[in-house]
Each structure stands twice: as structure tokens, then as C-alpha cells.
């Protein structure tokens, strides 16, 4: 069931589109901001609000990599693995994250602090390797910078 706040925010979002379904990504991100992820129940509630099928909404949710269909940590770390970042050392960044926090790509730390995910491109190629934590983008990330960067997300 959508909360009153979520419903109000979704009603505001759909005003910007000629059809309710146009607000699908906005709606998913709105509910995710409140709940942390999109459960099957949340997906059904949003689909009903938007007057589309749950299958159609799920296809959008699973395509868009910033919508989480399973629980994630308090902070989500996206490590770019595009060709530019790969050439500049994203694998060493991934390895350093694993060494420091005992977590592989696609996993969440045992304390629930971090979920680490790959992302195809952050659009930060000129400062590769890049990563994004929550909404903060970092460029020219090197393994020796990781602890300093991650200290902000305790």
C-alpha cells in the first residue's frame, strides 16, 4: 500500500506527463527513496496507481539499473566498468573494495553498510576510473584513495 506521502508525490509526478505511465521511472524512484528498494508489493501498488500492468512496470524497473528490485545497503557503490574505466584500472578499484570491506560486486557487506554494483558508464570517462556512491560521483579513483572516500559513508 502506498503511503499518503508517496501517493502525493506520485500525483505530482504524473502531472508532468501526458499519460500516467510516462511517470513510471519517477514513480519507482520516488517509492524507492522512501523504502530503499522496490519490493514485489511496491511494484504492484505503483503499477495500479499508474494504471499499467505489473509486468510492464517490472520490465522498466529491471532495465533501469538505478532501481533496486532487492534490498541494498545503506549506501550503494557503483563501480564503472566501461572501456575507459577498465583501461584506467577499475579492476584494481574493485579489488581494493573487496579487500577493505570483504564484499564482491553484486553483494552487500555483512553489516548492511554497502552494496557494490557494476555500472556500464557514469559518463565520467575523462576522469576514469570512476565510481558513484549514492548520488556522489568520483573520478580518477585509485585504490589508495578508497579509504578516504569511503570514510564519508560510515
DSSP codes, 3-47 = -HHHHHHHHHHHTTSSSGGGGHHHHHHHHHHHHSS--HHHHHHHH
- Identify the pLDDT of residue 72: 97
pTM for this entry: 0.85
For residues 9, 10, 15 and 16, what is the CA-based torsion angle, rounded to 10 degrees?
90
- Identify the pLDDT of residue 143: 93
Which residue numbers in the chain have pLDDT < 70?
A: none
- Identify the pLDDT of residue 53: 97
- Identify the pLDDT of residue 154: 84
33-45 in b/e form (b: 16+ CB < 10 A) is: eeeeebbeebbeb
Element containing residue 96 per DSSP (H, E):
helix 90-101
In 3D space, the residue among 49, 53, 56, 45 whose CA is nearest the CA of residue 20 turns out to be 49
Amino acid at each position: 500500500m502506498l503511503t499518503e506521502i508517496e501517493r502525493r508525490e506520485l500525483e505530482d509526478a504524473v502531472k508532468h506527463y501526458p499519460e500516467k505511465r510516462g511517470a513510471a521511472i519517477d514513480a519507482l524512484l520516488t517509492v524507492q527513496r522512501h523504502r530503499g528498494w522496490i519490493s514485489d508489493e511496491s511494484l504492484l501498488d505503483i503499477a495500479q496507481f499508474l494504471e499499467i500492468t505489473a509486468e510492464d512496470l517490472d520490465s522498466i524497473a529491471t532495465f533501469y539499473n538505478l532501481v533496486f528490485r532487492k534490498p541494498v545497503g545503506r549506501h550503494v557503490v557503483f563501480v564503472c566498468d566501461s572501456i575507459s574505466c577498465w583501461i584506467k584500472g577499475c579492476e584494481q578499484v574493485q579489488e581494493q573494495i573487496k579487500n577493505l570491506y570483504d564484499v564482491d560486486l553484486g553483494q552487500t557487506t555483512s553489516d548492511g553498510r554497502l552494496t557494490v554494483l557494476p555500472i556500464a558508464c557514469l559518463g565520467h570517462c575523462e576522469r576514469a576510473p570512476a565510481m558513484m556512491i549514492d548520488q556522489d560521483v568520483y573520478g580518477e579513483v585509485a585504490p589508495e584513495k578508497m579509504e578516504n572516500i569511503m570514510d564519508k559513508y560510515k
